[in-house]
Amino acid sequence: MRYHTPKSFDEAAAIAAKADGKTRFLAGGTDVLVQLRAGMVTPDDLIDIKHIAGVSDIARTADGGWRIGVAVSGAELGRHAALCADWPGVIEGMNLVGSTQVQGRATLVGNLCNGSPAADSVPGLIAAGATVTVTGPKGSREVAVEAIPTGPGKTVLAAGEVISAVTLPARGTGGGDAYLRFIPRTEMDIAVVGAAVNLRVVGGRITEARVALGAVAPTVILVPEAAAAIIGTDLNDAALAALTAAAEAAAKPISDKRGTAAFRKEVVGVLARRAALIAFARAKGEAK
Amino acid sequence: MTKIHVSATVNGDPVEYLADPRESLLDCLRDHLGLTGSKEGCGTGDCGACSVQLDGVLVCSCLVLGAEAQGKKIETVEGLSRGETLHPLQRKFIEHAALQCGFCTPGILVAAKALLEQNPDPNESEIRFWLAGNLCRCTGYDKIIRAVQDAAAEMRGAA
Amino acid sequence: MAKDELKTGYRLIGTRPDRPDGLDKVTGRARYGADITAPGMLHAAVVRSPHAHARIIKIDASKALALPGVKAVITRADFPTGLTGEDWNLQENTMAGDVALYDGHAVAAVAATTKLLAQDAALLIEVEYEILPHVTDVDAAMAPGAPAIRPGSADPSVPEGMHPNVIRYIDFGHGDLAAGFAAADLVREATYKTEATHQGYIEPHACLGQMGADGRGEMWVCTQGQWYIRRMSAAVLGIEAANLRVTPSEIGGGFGGKTTIFMEPLSLALSKKAGGRPVKLVMSRSEVFRATGPTASTSMDVKIGMKKDGTITAGQVYFRMQGGAFPGMSPISEALQCAFACYDVPALKHEAVEVLANRPKAAAYRAPGSPMAAFAVESMVDELCRELGLDPIATRLKNAARNGSKSSFGPSYNQIGLVESLEAARAHPNYAAPLGPNQGRGVASGFWMNHGGETSVSLAIGEDGTVGVMVGTPDVGGSRASLALMTAETLGIPYENVRVNIVETGALGVNEPTHGSRATFASGKAAVEAARQAIGEMCRRAAAEWGIDADAVEWKDGAAHPAGPNAGKFPPLTIAEIGASMGSTGGPISGHHESVPGGVGASFGAHVVDVEVDPETGRTTVLRYLVVQDAGRAIHPAYVEGQYQGGAVQGIGWALNEEYVYGTDGRLQNSIFLDYRVPVASDLPMIDTVIVEVPNPGHPYGVRGVGETGITPPLPAMASAIAAATGARLRSLPMSPPKVLAAIRAKGRG
């Protein structure tokens, strides 16, 4: 295994593009090292991207959104008051990944590129409408987060392509988001089910919404039907019931060691409903 | 495979070692530097027995490559006491019987120290969630929580 | 050192001094299994079967051996043949012979100059398998058509017509069962199941072994019992026990799981083949889960009859327990003995079978058998109480085993503290705490018989009057402190003047491991006897000095005194003075005691738990938890509380989320701590404890073991609390959220 410390994303992409064996990019390492240790993946080339300028920065974009470096840890995100005020749901999702120790290292992009349908930070990013910058041998492009994962452990990224930043849109007024997951314990588990809701409230009614669900399909899924169920409503009981039903209908879970399909299908509706209530309260300024 | 020369600071001392790129920081601490206080309980970041601070950040040293420590400051359980003077957490763990087998203790001490550095007065729930990544199978955590609370109180009083 | 309010009149017993090994353990200096190195040391890795059941056709290690730095590869062919009985089983589990019997079964091992090289070499060892049909569930394993795992291994006790995987049968009972059930106002029967769990000690197994061509060897190993490691390793390797010296490291948890061998002989065999270079072998966490000794999994039928006033008139159980592909480690006998141990019932029938399945060889886990039995019987008692509208503690008191009762398994109880424990639980504020919506309270009692076991302890007086104690029971949770307290109390000297050393196999006679809650009881009793022997000798030295009869000398406060005015007037001779002059008064002074101590005091306890269950997700939160248990006498109360708390939390984990999950391919699916869900700090409240003290007359300070009973009540107490919170009774562990939610839904439909 060769260990590289490129100084730019172009250099990182070039190393990856030239490599003929297995390649992995290393940021927080909380998945890569586990796979290495378990003998699941022993890369021939391991490309540590933490030496690239700007990877640890969190910056406002010109339109009032946020650009987040790929090596920013969950703990750093959680300490950023302005970012947390804008996107509490995104950050609470990331902060649910692993222990305090893992939070010291784990990153949004790592969680995304691991390709797990249960990734805790991904539903929040998708609900928020986040994008990532993909840098490759042919330059860079902006890709919606929901387009990155293609199946368990798989992403749309081609050989030589690396994600170089995460961008969250401007929050704007009347916005609120929330992420909830279900785990059997209080910490340290992989999500059995996850649900993120992002919405905007104008005059007491929901004008925009995005709902993303985790661990109920081969990838985290964006569920427009669930969003449609609450748009135009004041999140009354009928809207919540419709949201629950839409989330359940969209869920195509499997049974595995972490939970049964029936359980996931039922609980995803519960979590979507609970997350919507939190997001709604946040949008109205009634909750943090 | 070519090894990587790493220079770092461990518990204030300059160190150098040759890391195989596949070796974790935990491997390097234990096998190359003889610092066996940090323990491997799982190798997957799930037990916290290998907890160290890396440039002040609490991490599992099993989830850090030895090569990544180049130029970094690492603090382990061996650096908790100053000469003969134990850290208040160390004293309180003994006083409260907050350890039985003691295997998880180094990681819990390092994690608790990191907590008190950023929150000198944590409540029970904050301590429990901060330490959720440090498994203890002997104590049921009760006496660990009490020891951390007591050490925090003493440190606040002493400050 | 605040002295607890005990009515003992003791100087040290019942105080809470710092443990002697505390400093080493908070500074990282304490040396555990993997913490030692030796000159010329090699590292080992093990090749394990990925199949639940497969014939080994061929093992080709040529590619591994071709790697520079690889020093030895071993397979079963490197072990002696002709072993029988349990020795053969141990050998077979250490390294598969013709057939791999479970996912994780070792088939080859390699030693190389580095850890990474050994792991690389292991991947190059090619094993060709013929996959055989497998079975992992206990009921499936004894059903018609199940693959016979080891035909012909059944014991003669097994009734005709049972599946060949059923290898042992036991039954016992008393009274007129039919009359008992006929006298009941309510008779209920049900089947309860528990999945296998793992002790989950945080320290993986680790050893450093060295053995030369002469068959003489040494081993450093984390174990609960160095003599067991010696005897078993010697048997598996065909060497003489005396030629193997085993030194126990500090131990990072065992809970019964480190009382036997798993991979230790591999390091010795590799060392021998590699020219005697020491070989270090450390398991990964995944290897620990796949290839050490989890508990049995069980399927249990229970039938109990009760009168309207709560009197239990009869009980009947039939337990089926699989303990892996090897006989002997399904704790059917212990489970049956514990099943009704808390009750005085006129008619009981106990039956159990041991069943083979394609799983790793089970090992002991804290009160082996008792938690499962309690889950079945205590759950059913709660179901009856609930149906009859009876208070669960009052009902247990009504039927409680008491001093002099004939136990459910035969012998009569001496002094026991079940009634006192139940009364203390009932009087505790937790039992009266108000409950909110979706909350419920569960109660259960628990039992463990405790154990004496082979014990050998030596003690020597130092030249300054301080004392070294050599014991053979590794310190898993503070026993150095309790042994030092008892020794110092007996000798009348300061606690700090006693050093307790856990010694290697060459230093004492055979000791059983720290198991059966015996370290403080058995090593303690022996240490007290050894101290008394040394006191006798010190009195003789004083008598000689004073020119009086030894009978006229008495020992108190750490010194020899004339025993009353008639003995003469002499200033006391302190232990320090006697130690300083012993070279000229007859030589070294020591004490020694070895025995299989009788007087074992049975242990009873009662737990009360409050939970809240989320009715929409089935998730259970423990709100408050109370452990009440009879310690006989708490030597160091802080470590007694620690045993209660730790046992309770392991039981909570077993009740809620811990389980071995096997796929249809027979492979273990959750072999890391991410998916084998032990309780984490944020899952729990503080664990309240009450130490009841009904002194055990069989121990000089009244000690009964405290380590094991605490894991027993949580399983049924949690089930009963969940039933109280939801109205849904779960009869299958773990009570993970999907099962709880399904039970709530089924109740709604029913």
Indicate the residue among B79, B106, B133 that finishes a domain. B79
If asked whether residues B97 and B140 sit together in one domain, one would say yes
- Is the pLDDT at C490 greater than 70? The verdict is yes
Averaged over C396-418, what is the pLDDT?
96
CATH value at residue B108:
1.10.150.120
Touching subunits of A (3+ CB pairs, under 8 Å) are: B, C
Question: Is the bond preceding C734 in cis, omega lying within 30 degrees of 0?
Answer: yes
Percent of chain A's residues with pLDDT above 70? 100
Question: Domains of chain C, with CATH numbers?
Answer: 387-445+601-749 (3.30.365.10), 452-595 (3.30.365.10)
DSSP-H helix ranges across C616-657? 637-656
As a whole number, the mean pLDDT across chain C is 97
If pLDDT is split at 50, 70 and 90, which confidence band does C749 have?
low
Chain centre distance of CA C129: 35
If asked whether residues B92 and B139 sit together in one domain, one would say yes
CB of A63 less than 8 A from some CB of C: no
CB of B61 less than 8 A from some CB of C: no
- In B71-142, beta strands by DSSP E: 73-75
If asked whether residues B101 and B135 sit together in one domain, one would say yes
Contacts of B22 in chain C (CB under 8 A): 116
Percent of chain A's residues with pLDDT above 90? 96
Q: What whole-number distance in Å separates Cα of residue C733 and Cα of residue A190?
A: 21
Interface contacts B/C by beta carbons within 8 Å: 184
- Give the burial class of C91: count Cβ atoms within 10 A of its Cβ; 0-12 exposed, 13-18 middle, 19 or more buried: buried
Judged by CB atoms closer than 8 Å, whether chains meet at B145 and C686 is answered as yes
User: For residue B147, what are the domain limits?
Assistant: 88-158
Q: Distance, in angstroms, between C57 CA and closest chain A CA?
A: 25
Complete DSSP assignment for A239-261: HHHHHHHHHHHH-----BTTB-H
Judged by CB atoms closer than 8 Å, whether chains meet at A33 and B134 is answered as no
Q: Distance, in angstroms, between A81 CA and closest chain B CA?
A: 16
Complete DSSP assignment for chain A: -EEE--SSHHHHHHHHHH--S-EEEESS-TTHHHHHHTTS---SEEEEGGGSTTTT-EEE-TTS-EEE-TT-BHHHHHH-HHHHHH-HHHHHHHHTSS-HHHHTT-BHHHHHHTT-TT-SSHHHHHHHT-EEEEEETTEEEEEEGGGSEEETTEESPPTT-EEEEEEE----TTEEEEEEEE-SSSSSPPPSEEEEEEEEEETTEEEEEEEEEESSSSS-EE-HHHHHHHTTS---HHHHHHHHHHHHHH-----BTTB-HHHHHHHHHHHHHHHHHHHHHHHTTS--
DSSP strand pairing (C620-630 vs C687-692):
parallel
CA distances from C564 to C535, C567, C570 (A): 18, 6, 10
- Is the pLDDT at C504 greater than 80? The verdict is yes
Cβ A209 vs Cβ A178: under 8 Å: no
If asked whether residues B12 and B69 sit together in one domain, one would say yes
If asked whether residues B18 and B61 sit together in one domain, one would say yes
Listed residue (C478, C459, C460) closest to C520, CA to CA: C478
Chain centre distance of CA C492: 33
As a whole number, the mean pLDDT across chain B is 97
Cβ B98 vs Cβ B139: under 8 Å: yes
Q: What whole-number distance in Å separates Cα of residue A43 and Cα of residue B61?
A: 20
**For the whole model, what pTM was predicted?**
0.97
Averaged over A167-190, what is the pLDDT?
97
Question: Whats the size of chain B, residue-wise?
Answer: 159
CATH value at residue B38:
3.10.20.30
Q: Distance, in angstroms, between A122 CA and closest chain B CA?
A: 21
Judged by CB atoms closer than 8 Å, whether chains meet at A263 and C741 is answered as yes
Domain count within chain B: 2
Using only C-alpha atoms, what is the Rg of chain A? 19
Q: What whole-number distance in Å separates Cα of residue C340 and Cα of residue C410?
A: 11
Contacts of C35 in chain B (CB under 8 A): 30, 36
CA dihedral C74, C80, C83, C88 (to 10 degrees): -10
CB-nearest partner of B132 from A34, A42, A99: A99
If asked whether residues B73 and B99 sit together in one domain, one would say no
The CATH number of A175-283 is which of 3.30.390.50, 3.40.47.10, 3.40.50.300, 3.30.450.20? Answer: 3.30.390.50
Per-residue confidence (pLDDT) for residue A38, from 0 to 100: 87
Interface test with A, best of C123, C290, C677 (most A CBs within 10 A): C677
Listed residue (B100, B41, B144, B31) closest to C474, CA to CA: B100
Contacts of B101 in chain C (CB under 8 A): 201-203, 250-254, 476-477
For C685-701, the pLDDT digits (tens) are 999 999 999 999 999 99
Cβ C454 vs Cβ C511: under 8 Å: yes
Q: What whole-number distance in Å separates Cα of residue C252 and Cα of residue B108?
A: 14
Per-residue confidence (pLDDT) for residue C564, from 0 to 100: 86
Quote the DSSP letter at residue C241.
G
If asked whether residues B101 and B144 sit together in one domain, one would say yes
If pLDDT is split at 50, 70 and 90, which confidence band does C5 have?
very low
Q: What whole-number distance in Å separates Cα of residue A121 and Cα of residue A104?
A: 15
If asked whether residues B58 and B123 sit together in one domain, one would say no
Indicate the residue among B27, B62, B79 that finishes a domain. B79
Judged by CB atoms closer than 8 Å, whether chains meet at B43 and C27 is answered as no
Averaged over C185-189, what is the pLDDT?
98
Residue C410 CB partners (closer than 8 Å, separation 6+): C172
If asked whether residues B75 and B93 sit together in one domain, one would say no
- Is the pLDDT at C7 greater than 80? The verdict is no
CB-nearest partner of A1 from B22, B44, B51: B22
Listed residue (C699, C638, C707) closest to C490, CA to CA: C699
Contacts of B130 in chain A (CB under 8 A): 100
Residue with tokens 């029967």, as numbered in its chain: C189
Percent of chain C's residues with pLDDT above 90? 97
Q: What whole-number distance in Å separates Cα of residue C367 and Cα of residue C369?
A: 6
Averaged over C302-323, what is the pLDDT?
98
CB of C669 less than 8 A from some CB of A: yes
If asked whether residues B73 and B106 sit together in one domain, one would say no
Judged by CB atoms closer than 8 Å, whether chains meet at C675 and A257 is answered as yes
If asked whether residues B97 and B30 sit together in one domain, one would say no
Indicate the residue among B79, B102, B129 that finishes a domain. B79
Cβ A57 vs Cβ A69: under 8 Å: yes
Q: What whole-number distance in Å separates Cα of residue C444 and Cα of residue A72?
A: 49
Q: What whole-number distance in Å separates Cα of residue B29 and Cα of residue B101?
A: 22
Per-residue confidence (pLDDT) for residue C524, from 0 to 100: 98
Judged by CB atoms closer than 8 Å, whether chains meet at A29 and B63 is answered as yes
If asked whether residues B113 and B151 sit together in one domain, one would say yes
Per-residue confidence (pLDDT) for residue C3, from 0 to 100: 42
- Is the pLDDT at A106 greater than 60? The verdict is yes
Q: Could you tell me the residue ranges of all domains in chain A? A: 175-283
Contacts of A46 in chain B (CB under 8 A): 21, 65
